[in-house]
Chains A and B, each alone.
Chain A
Amino acid sequence: MEVAAASYVADVDNFKATELRLGLPGTEEEPQKTAVVPTPPSTPRGKKRDVSGPEDAAKKRDGEAAPLAAKVQMVGWPPVRSYRKSCFQQASSTKSKPAAPEETTTAAAGNGLFVKVSMDGAPYLRKIDLKMYKGYRELREALEAMFLCFSGGADAPDVNPSDFAVTYEDKDGDLMLVGDVPFDMFISTCKRLRIMKGSEARGLGSVKNN
């Protein structure tokens, strides 16, 4: 068995060696640092197209003759404020971008917005589609229905709604109480839900009864 496994590994290595790709032998292809000539930017707007007309084609050819190190990042160049750069990063994380490293749950319109829901003490998580709910009340009812089995039973015969607080993790990674912002905005910023119970949640649950 081990021999077979070893030979399989060896085959994989050989496969890599015979793999057809651009680049000098012995070099690894690094997706970000590959020398690429300037191309139309991958702006957050996914379907960005070339807006230049035919007379600009000549200029683009000049551009393409630029040094191969075109995609290099240099400290402080171009001279753009870091505030501006960080705004653009924020912009690209709200739009659906396939290359985004972090797991985004905002999807293009119509695809459903599934987020994980965890509840303190529950053995497994659930997933719900936020787009299915018109408002906070429907959402809360659905959550209560989903997780009732974990809060009820012999352990806690009297379940007090004010002992639960529904919180969510937003785009920035902060833990927020559900219900402060308009529902539409909540949907666009919510990345996952967490139902807190017990002493952490005492009193919080009763504030929002929407």
Chain B
Amino acid sequence: MTYFPEEVVEHIFSFLPSHSDRNTVSLVCKVWYQIERLSRRAVFVGNCYAVRPEHVVLRFPNVRALTVKGKPHFADFNLVPPDWGGYAGPWIEAAARGCVGLEELRMKRMVVSDESLELLARSFPRFKVLVLISCEGFSTDGLAAIASHCKLLRELDLQENDVEDRGPRWLSCFPDSCTSLVSLNFACIKGEVNSGSLERLVARSPNLRSLRLNRSVSVDTLSKILVRTPNLQDLGTGNLTDEFQIESYFRLTNALEKCKMLRSLSGFWDASPVCVPFIYPLCHQLTGLNLSYTPTLDASDLTKMISRCAKLQRLWVLDCISDKGLQVVASSCKDLQELRVFPSDFYVAGYSAVTETGLVAISSGCPKLSSLLYFCHQMTNDALITISKNCPNFIRFRLCILEPKKPDAMTNQPLDEGFGAIVRESKGLRRLSISGLLTDKVFMYIGKYAKHLEMLSIAFAGDSDKGMMHVMNGCKNLRKLEIRDSPFGDVALLGNVANYETMRSLWMSSCNVTLKGCQVLASKMPMLNVEIMNELDGSSEMEENHGDLSNLSKVEKLYVYRTTAGARDDAPNFVKIL
């Protein structure tokens, strides 16, 4: 291969589909390393602190698409204190200096400021795609900068961000010359937008395929917009309350009927049951439906709609659908691949109309099911065993029984056997979240059978260090392990330290690991950052204590990740990096 001219090698590399393949070829020899790095177009950074942004930019100066992820997953549930980190600024600044050809930026769980968005908007003349997921720290002023200056913008996709509302001005900042939009998602924007500006923007965006509106957009505006977008594939509605005239809804149906390409529907903010029948004409063509932000629709409304969606592949819904409703889903949606059932009651051990019955029904009606997120009131081993046999193709299986440590509802036994069946039957399982009453045995099963597992989430489970050690020893492909409120301590933490080099990260909170254990880990593995967070009294008290007592004190929160960047310099004072 070294006799081939560089262009040929580069061309061959362009056929490599995945980041890991390209990473591998770059290790073969110096020549290949150079060719690979200069021709790399997409870089994925799973942990923003694993590598310095300057180094990424230096190595891949011609990158066009950059993806960076910040806070650990448990930050979604407020387990990571605010101001922990995950700042987008250094990444955008480094890219602005080192790769001005950047066209796409995707960020998840990062803190993005308006200044950074302004810098982004002004630094990359070919910028086309901005995707922000679960980010925070910016306002609609930052979006105004993006709209104003990114002349070639194709995608502005804002998913579930916490955005400060500074008025509707931002949407009007798209210049008249901006006609390139393919995807616009502002569902998470809390404030109002100017409907006239929105209509005009849609009217001059003939390539629009995906549009997700926010709560403020009325039915009338939606109808007017849909008339302009006959090629729309994905729609997030505005509000569908019953405060509108019936004529508005007739106009909406007429407009929807023209959207023959529409496959995916979401939004339904504040949806009134009255509005539901107006969506019926669309149902037969839908492959994706998200009703999970609509607590105003009950099981009967939901099932009337879903029973018409024979082609549905992806369904997100609230637990008010109830077991009976899930039976309807099971008999109507034979192609279902992904199901998410979210709780409508956020209390611990809150009420849920959904139990193991619903899931068993789904599994028997929808054998293609491969991705599941299921919040429920209770579960049984029998049900899980049945489910595992009905659906052997799970890639993602996330079960959340609302009451921690709840046993099998019929037998009062732990749910070890049930989850054991899932990992045994679904050999391709990559992501697993377990709940309910669980002993070390379930971890023995996981370590033994879940050979392709990449991400495991554990809460209130296990009896002893042995549990965690089963996982660390058995799951060779594990990338992310997150544990809360489980009795794993230093022995488990230090049981197989070499693993942490092959994993992206480990999170442990409210477990039994001590400061001493963490210090040992840090000293054994210099390529890891071992971050501990004790909110109660900060690190100062630990330093003042002289005796062994302080070392045996339990660490409230531990976050361990491999890194080439060394200890980060932006850590707040409640984070101690050992």
Binding site for B on A (CB under 8 A): 38-41, 43-45, 48-49, 51-53, 56, 59, 62-63, 66-67, 69-88, 90-91, 94-95, 109, 170, 172, 174, 176, 180-182, 184-185, 187-189
With contacts A56-B323, A76-B74 taken as known, whether A45 is within 8 angstroms of B377 at the C-beta atoms is no
Which of B74, B292, B355, B404 interacts with A59 by CB under 8 Å? B355
Question: A106 — nearest CB in chain B belongs to which residue?
Answer: B243
Residues of A within 8 A of B167 (CB): 174
Is there contact, CB below 8 Å, between B194 and A180? yes
Selected from B134, B195, B348, B404, the residue in CB contact (under 8 A) with A73 is B348
B293 within 8 A of A: yes
Residues of A within 8 A of B300 (CB): 51
CA A69 – CA B347 in complex, angstroms? 10
With a cutoff of 8 Å between Cβ atoms, the chain A residues found around residue B168 in the complex are 180
Separation of A77 and B400 alpha carbons in the complex (Å): 10
Flag whether B78 is at the interface (Cβ < 8 A): yes
- Name the residue on B nearest A87 (C-beta): B293
Which B residues are in CB contact (< 8 Å) with A73? Answer: 346-348
B7 within 8 A of A: no
Residues of A within 8 A of B190 (CB): 90, 172
State A63–B350 Cα separation when bound (angstroms).
9
Q: How far is the CA of A30 from the CA of B100 in the complex (A)?
A: 59
Judge whether B350 and A41 touch: CB under 8 Å.
yes
Partner of B324, one of A53, A75, A84, A94: A53
Query: Chain B at the A interface: mostly helix, strand, loop or mixed?
Result: loop
Q: Tell me the chain B residues, 332-357 only, with Cβ under 8 Å from chain A.
A: 342-351, 353, 355
Partner of A95, one of B77, B191, B296, B378: B296
Judging by beta carbons under 8 Å apart, are A189 and B296 in contact?
Answer: no
**Is B313 among interface residues, defined by CB-CB distance under 8 A?**
no
Measured CB to CB, the nearest residue on chain B to A83 is B160
Q: Are B296 and A185 in contact (CB under 8 A)?
A: no
Q: How far is the CA of A170 from the CA of B168 in the complex (A)?
A: 13
Given contacts A41-B350, A45-B296, A74-B348, 16 further A-B contacts (CB under 8 A): A39-B351, A43-B344, A51-B322, A67-B349, A77-B348, A77-B404, A78-B375, A79-B400, A80-B342, A84-B292, A87-B293, A172-B190, A176-B192, A181-B195, A181-B216, A188-B243
Contacts A62-B378, A70-B348: A77 and B298 contacting too (C-beta < 8 A)? no
Tell me if B409 counts as interface (CB < 8 A to partner A).
Answer: yes
Point out the residue from B76, B162, B216 that lies within 8 Å of A79, measured CB to CB: B76
Q: Is the CB of A85 within 8 A of B346?
A: yes
Q: Are B349 and A38 in contact, CB atoms less than 8 angstroms apart? A: yes
Interface contact B242-A109, CB-CB below 8 Å: yes
Report yes or no: A66 in contact with B349, Cβ–Cβ below 8 A: yes
Q: Does the CB pair A51–B353 fall under 8 Å?
A: yes
Interface residues of B in 251-287 (CB under 8 A from A): 269-270
Chain A residues with CB under 8 Å of B74's CB are 76
Residue of A nearest to B484 (CB): A76
User: Of the candidates B269, B293, B351, B433, which one forms a contact with A40 in the assembled complex, judged by CB atoms under 8 Å apart?
Assistant: B351
Residue of B nearest to A45 (CB): B296
Any A CB within 8 A of the CB of B250 = no
Whole-angstrom CA separation of A156 from B38 in the bound complex = 73
Residue B188 CB within 8 A of the other chain: yes
Do A59 and B377 contact each other (CB < 8 Å), given the known contacts A80-B343, A170-B192, A185-B216?
yes
- The 8 Å CB contact of A76, one of B78, B160, B192, B349, is B78
Interface set of B (CB-CB < 8 Å, partner A) = 74, 76-79, 134, 160-162, 165, 167-168, 188, 190-192, 194-195, 215-216, 218, 220-221, 241-244, 269-270, 292-293, 295-296, 298-300, 320, 322-324, 342-351, 353, 355, 375, 377-378, 400, 402-404, 409, 433, 457, 459, 484
Task: Give chain A residues whose Cβ lies under 8 Å from the Cβ of B457.
Answer: 79
Q: Smallest distance from the beta carbon of B498 to chain A beta carbons, Å?
A: 30
Query: In whole Å, how far is A158's beta carbon from the nearest beta carbon of chain B?
Result: 33
Interface centre among A87, A182, A185 (most CB of B within 10 A): A185
Q: How far is the CA of A79 from the CA of B404 in the complex (A)?
A: 11
Chain A's closest residue to B343 (CB) is A78
Residues of A within 8 A of B346 (CB): 73, 78, 80, 85, 88
Answer whether A83 and B77 are a contact pair too, CB < 8 Å, given A73-B348, A76-B484: no
Q: Are B195 and A182 in contact (CB under 8 A)?
A: yes
B292 smallest CB distance to A (angstroms): 8
Contact A51–B345 (Cβ < 8 Å): no
Q: Pull 22 A–B residue pairs with CB atoms less than 8 Å apart, ordered by A.
A: A41-B350, A43-B320, A51-B300, A52-B324, A56-B323, A59-B377, A67-B349, A69-B349, A70-B350, A73-B346, A75-B79, A76-B77, A78-B375, A81-B77, A84-B342, A90-B190, A91-B270, A172-B190, A181-B195, A184-B243, A185-B218, A187-B243
Q: Which residues of B contact A63 (CB under 8 A)?
A: 351, 377-378
CA distance A73 to B296 in the complex (A): 23
**Contact of A172 with B348 at beta-carbon distance under 8 Å, contacts A43-B320, A75-B78, A75-B79 already known:** no
A180 to B171, CA, bound (A): 13
* B215–A90 touching, CB < 8 Å: yes
* Chain B residues with CB under 8 A of A187: 243
Contact B404 A189, beta carbon cutoff 8 Å: no
Which residues of B sit under 8 angstroms from A80, Cβ to Cβ?
Answer: 77, 342-343, 346, 375
Chain A residues with CB below 8 A from B355, complex form: 56, 59
Q: Decide if B188 touches A72 in the complex (CB within 8 Å).
A: no
Closest to A49 in B: B298
Closest to B74 in A: A76
Contact of B298 among A45, A62, A85, A188 (CB under 8 A): A45
Residues of B within 8 A of A181 (CB): 192, 194-195, 216, 218
B296 touches A91 (CB 8 A): yes
Contacting residue for A41 out of B160, B345, B433, CB 8 A: B345
A172–B350 Cα distance when bound, in Å, is 29
Q: Which residues of B contact A94 (CB under 8 A)?
A: 241, 270
A66 / chain B contacts, CB cutoff of 8 Å: 349, 403
Task: Give the nearest-CB partner of B373 in chain A.
Answer: A79
Taken together as a complex, chains A and B put the C-alpha atoms of A76 and B400 apart, in Å, by 13
Minimum C-beta distance from A167 to chain B (A): 13
Contact A38 B351 (CB under 8 A): yes
- List chain B residues, Cβ under 8 A from A72: 347-349
Complex CA gap A70/B242 in Å reads 34
Q: How far is the CB of A165 from chain B (nearest CB, A)?
A: 15
Residue of A45, A53, A109 near B243 (CB, 8 A) is A109
Nearest-neighbour CB distance to chain B for A71, whole angstroms, equals: 5
- CB of A174 within 8 A of CB of B348, answer no
For A59, the chain B residues whose CB sits under 8 A away are 355, 377-378, 409
Instruction: Tell me which residues across on chain A come within 8 A of B192, comparing CB atoms.
Output: 170, 176, 180-181, 185, 189
B295's contact among A40, A91, A109, A189, by CB below 8 Å, is which?
A91
